[in-house]
Amino acid sequence: MLGGIARRAGPLALVVVTGLGWGLLAVGSKVLFAAEPAVFNGTTVALARGLWSLPFFLFGLGVAWRLEPPKLDARRWLLILAAGIVFGPGVSLLYTLAAQHTSVAHITFLLGVSPVTNTAAAALVFRKALDRRSWLALALGVAGIVLLALTRRAEGASPAGDLLMLGWLVTFAAYACLLRAVGAGISSTLLMCLVGTIAMIALVVPQLAASVFASAHVADTPALAWWFFGEIILGSTLVAQTTYAAAVRRLGVAVATIGTEYTALVVGIVASLLSREAWTPLTALAAAAFCSALAVTFVPSRRRLKARRSG
């Protein structure tokens, strides 16, 4: 019995930790934007994140490689390279740009539809047919996006920011599928250190001067230092990416992402309400649509429950 609880607690801990890291990332970014608008914007926060994260990823890469060298063919090395490029200039940069141009609530809701889009992408890439529940979840997710587009612009929200988050959904789905395609032959820690190193190099090197300038200001005040190093570097980058990679490999793209986004959705909604962002009735309807899409995707059907019991 205790062994069964431990087996379930491990994956649950992975998705909860990842969700907390991702759910607070928009909040941390907005703290930096508000504190020093002349220094920090969507691009410079991503660049500072990349420059400060790179030494940690390099250190982790050296240790993990020494402990368990990878056994990969050329194809899977190319997949890792692609995952790093998608994660750096794609996932990381698009997210902080969106955080600059839209509200925490809108970011959270669009982040919450990623399990649905990731499921669809995984079905397409790995040639698995979508069932009726998945199609219904997709329809609910699209409905939520339409409702967000129709909302009266809440404080801090804009169509440009929402479009950037839609771009993030596409790149994040590609990133999740690339991680899944790498397969066995490499530990989760080594995989994320490799991907993180490639991502941060791809993000920082083309704009090195701007990266150094922004990085010099991340500790101007104790609050900035706490949010930047505690959440943006440690929580959302180093810890969350490693736990997400482990969750994907243990649970699959769909289940890992769904569990993570449930946690991130709750954290983001609470943060939005605590920061007193303006909500409209359409905003609440959009939230309900996204939550319903997650429920349709995640809650097991009666057929699945019967199959588990009989098995």
Looking at the domain assignment, is residue 7 inside a domain? Answer: no
pLDDT on residue 308? 45
Strands (E), 5-57: none
Unique residue bearing structure tokens 């101007």 = 220
* pTM (two decimals): 0.80
Residues of the chain with pLDDT under 50: 1-5, 305, 307-311
Contact status, residue 17 vs residue 243, Cβ threshold 8 Å:
yes
Four-point Cα dihedral 20, 25, 30, 35, nearest 10: 90
pLDDT on residue 9? 66
Spatial distance between the Cα atoms of 237 and 218, rounded to a whole number of angstroms = 16
Looking at the domain assignment, is residue 235 inside a domain? Answer: yes
Looking at the domain assignment, is residue 3 inside a domain? Answer: no
| Residue-wise pLDDT tens digits, 147-156 | 776 675 555 6
Looking at the domain assignment, is residue 265 inside a domain? Answer: yes
Looking at the domain assignment, is residue 300 inside a domain? Answer: yes
Burial of 208 (0-12, 13-18, 19+ CB in 10 A): exposed
Looking at the domain assignment, is residue 5 inside a domain? Answer: no
Looking at the domain assignment, is residue 1 inside a domain? Answer: no
Range of the domain at 44: 14-310
Rounded (5°) CA angle 140-106-261: 65
What average pLDDT does the chain have?
81
Contact status, residue 49 vs residue 95, Cβ threshold 8 Å:
no
Structure tokens at 261: 């986004």
Looking at the domain assignment, is residue 156 inside a domain? Answer: yes
What total of structural domains would you count in the chain? 1
Structure tokens at 36: 């020093």
Spatial distance between the Cα atoms of 97 and 210, rounded to a whole number of angstroms = 15
